[in-house]
Amino acid sequence: MPLIYIPKPLANTAPSQVITAIYFCAYAPTGVSGPAESSPSSSAKLTNHWVIYFAISSTHSIRFDPSPTGQNSSLDLIITSKHYAFTENAAKVSHLTPAAGLTVGQVIDHIVNSKYDQYQFSFSGQGCRYWVYSIATLLRSAGYLTSDAEVDAAARTLQVVWTTRGEPVADVQQTGMTQGIFY
């Protein structure tokens, strides 16, 4: 999987940044077969796109956006710098506390060394929730997260599709966490 840094010089500056907080964020729900219509049917199956924000201050973060844009829907991890800790447009946010002194570079290295960068989304392009969940599990096992309760709460949050109001979508519209394949 390519790590895609936007802008490219971020590849040189992001790794040394110390993480002060981690946020898993869900964006507005979309139809599982593509973008939702302006007024989707009340029974249309929905999902959220999930990203991870590694806050390096209260006003700056490094976002990891898992995207199925690689060959055969393989993972492209789009890494960008943002001028906020996490997006205000999130439908749902889970906060995780990093170990003291944890850097963005340590996270990237652990993802790559553990081969969590080698991931193929489902044929429909779904699987970001499962990838984010897998990263939480990976970071927990490495001792990079300080609270098991926060990780457990994030895992429960990832099991649900959320409205833009931060509420679960109707049961008939819920979809399970689609697993991609690590290779």
pLDDT in 10s for each residue of the chain, 183 residues: 589 999 999 999 999 999 999 999 999 999 986 554 445 567 899 999 999 999 999 999 999 999 999 888 999 999 999 999 999 999 999 999 999 999 999 999 999 999 999 999 998 899 999 999 999 999 999 999 999 999 999 999 999 999 999 999 999 999 999 999 999
Query: What pTM, to 2 d.p., does this model score?
Result: 0.94
Count of C-beta atoms within a 10 Å radius of residue 182: 15
> By the 8 A CB rule, do 110 and 142 touch?
yes
Start-end of H helices in the chain: 10-13, 104-113, 128-141, 148-158
> By the 8 A CB rule, do 93 and 24 touch?
yes
Q: How many whole angstroms separate alpha carbon 92 and alpha carbon 149?
A: 17
Q: How many whole angstroms separate alpha carbon 165 and alpha carbon 170?
A: 13
Among 139, 160, 142, which residue's Cα sits nearest to residue 150?
139
Alpha-carbon Rg for the chain, nearest whole angstrom, is 16
> By the 8 A CB rule, do 29 and 39 touch?
no
Among 93, 96, 95, which residue's Cα sits nearest to residue 162?
93
